[in-house]
């Protein structure tokens, strides 16, 4: 790890300005992703702006059909949140399946969504629920947010404040865990908003999370889990690694989607 200047601002405004004035700064949330990259010296930022003291960034709020989760809310907090478990139990369950207990007690939703790891879980929910990412400067819709491998619509220094999830009628998440890391090799989040409005978010399979529109279309006529077997799914740009080839990932996406849909109807 290289030396860096450490800051622990007390306000969002200070955080953003510290980050802006740094030569090569980085926000620090739970550190579960960032610290290992520092240790391996894959990154060597000049300044770390720790968001840990910004109490206003943490917490789960439920109001008028919207569940809002502050960027600094730990996975374990979402998993245990009564509001989350009542309003969107699939989202609470998703949080409870991230990594291991240590990771869940440190890692944050803001860090996860900012990072856009292709195998992260939250992005599937962000996509499927059509969430809104609220930053220090604007609101970004889920559909345009994830841009590619570790790439998002965030501008340099832009700070995620919170993420607002519309509450669906029902939802489910199914994840195929990587045998070693336990990240998602394929994860599918389905959200049913009623009136044949179903959204499907897929993570793990491609360079970043995406909507499986062809399946959504098939489901709009009938909410039949078997639709996942046949809906067009192009795995041409899917990830391929030791854990799963692109072709096998496509199979897993179908199976996870089918099982998520089955648990919806079941």
Partner 1 sequence: MNAMIGQPVRRREDVRFITGRGRYTDDISLAGQGYAAFARSPYARARIVSIDTTGAKTTPGVVGVFTGADLTAAGIGALPCGWLVKSTDGSDMKVAPRPPLAATQVNFVGEPYAIVVGETLAAARAGVDALEADFEELEASANLASAMEGVQIHDGIERNLSFHWALGDAAAVDAAFARAKHLTTLTFANNRLIPNAIEPRACVAAYDAASDEITLYTTSQNPHLERLILAAFVGLAPEHKLRVVSPDVGGGFGSKIFVYPEETAAAWAARALNRPVKWTAERSESFLSDAHGRDHLTTAELALDDAGTFLGLRVRTRANLGAYLSTFGSSVPTYLYGTLLAGQYCTPAIHVEVDGVYTNTAPVDAYRGAGRPEATYVIERIVETAARELGVDPAELRRRNFIQPDQFPYETPVALVYDTGDYQQSLERAQKLADVAGFPARRAAAAAKGLRRGLGYSCYIEACGLAPSQLAISLGAGVGLYESGEIRVNPTGSVTVFTGSHSHGQGHETTFAQVVAGKFGIPIEQVEVVHGDTGRVEFGLGTYGSRSLAVGGSALVKSADKIIEKGRRISGHLMETAPDQVDFEDGVYKARGTNRRMTFGEVALAAYVPANFPEGLEPGLSEKTFYDPKNFTYPAGAHIAEVEVDPETGVVKVVAFTAVDDFGTVINPMIVEGQVHGGVAQGIGQALLELGAYDESGQLVTGSFMDYAMPRADDLPSFSVDTTVTPCTHNPLGAKGCGEAGAIGAPAAVMNAVTDALGVKDVAMPASPERVWRALRGA
Q: Which positions from 21 through 80 interact with ligand FAD, judged by CB under 6 A?
A: 26-34, 51, 71
Q: Which positions from 177 through 206 interact with partner 1, judged by CB under 8 A?
A: 178-181
Select from ligand FAD, partner 1, none the partner in contact with residue 103, using the beta carbon and a kind-dependent cut-off of 5 to 8 Å: ligand FAD
Distance in Å, CB of 26 to partner 1, minimum:
20
Distance in Å, CB of 258 to ligand FAD, minimum:
21
CA-based nearest residue to 83, from 106, 103, 60: 60
Residue 242 sits in the site that holds partner 1 (CB under 8 A) = yes
Q: Can you tell me which of 33, 105, 115, 245 binds partner 1, judged by CB under 8 A?
A: 245
- Give the burial string for 184-201 (b: 16+ CB within 10 Å, else e): bbbbbbbbbbeeeebbbb
Distance in Å, CB of 71 to ligand FAD, minimum:
4
Residue 244 sits in the site that holds partner 1 (CB under 8 A) = yes
How far, in Å, CA of 261 to CA of 58, rounded? 31
Q: Which two tokens stand for residue 243?
A: 């854990």
Phi, psi of 216 (to 5 degrees): -55, -45
Phi, psi of 76 (to 5 degrees): -65, -35
Binding residues for ligand FAD (CB under 6 A): 26-34, 51, 71, 98-99, 103, 106-108, 110-112, 114-115, 117, 120-122, 159-160, 181-183
């Amino acid at each position: 790890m290289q030396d860096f200047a450490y800051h622990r601002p007390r306000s969002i405004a200070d955080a953003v300005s510290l980050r802006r004035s740094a030569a090569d700064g980085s926000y620090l949330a739970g550190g579960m992703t960032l610290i290992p990259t520092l240790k391996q010296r894959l990154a060597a930022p000049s300044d770390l702006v720790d968001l840990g003291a910004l109490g206003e960034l943490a917490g789960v709020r439920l109001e008028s059909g919207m569940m809002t989760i502050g960027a600094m809310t730990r996975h374990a907090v979402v998993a245990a949140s009564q509001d989350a478990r009542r309003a969107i139990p699939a989202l609470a369950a998703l949080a409870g399946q991230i990594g291991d207990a240590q990771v869940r007690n440190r890692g944050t939703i803001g860090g996860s969504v900012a990072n856009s790891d292709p195998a992260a879980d939250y992005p599937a929910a962000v996509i499927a629920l059509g969430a809104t990412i609220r930053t220090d400067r604007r609101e970004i819709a889920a559909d345009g947010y994830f841009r590619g491998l570790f790439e998002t619509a965030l501008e340099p220094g832009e700070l995620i404040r919170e993420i607002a999830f519309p509450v669906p009628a029902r939802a489910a998440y199914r994840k195929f865990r990587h045998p070693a890391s336990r990240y998602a090799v394929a994860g599918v989040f389905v959200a049913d908003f009623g009136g044949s409005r179903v959204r499907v978010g897929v993570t793990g399979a491609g360079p970043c999370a995406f909507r499986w529109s062809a399946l959504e279309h098939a489901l709009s006529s009938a909410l039949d889990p078997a639709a996942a077997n046949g809906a067009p799914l192009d795995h041409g740009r899917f990830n391929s690694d030791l854990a799963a080839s692109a072709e096998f990932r496509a199979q897993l996406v179908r199976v996870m989607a089918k099982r998520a849909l089955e648990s919806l109807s079941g």
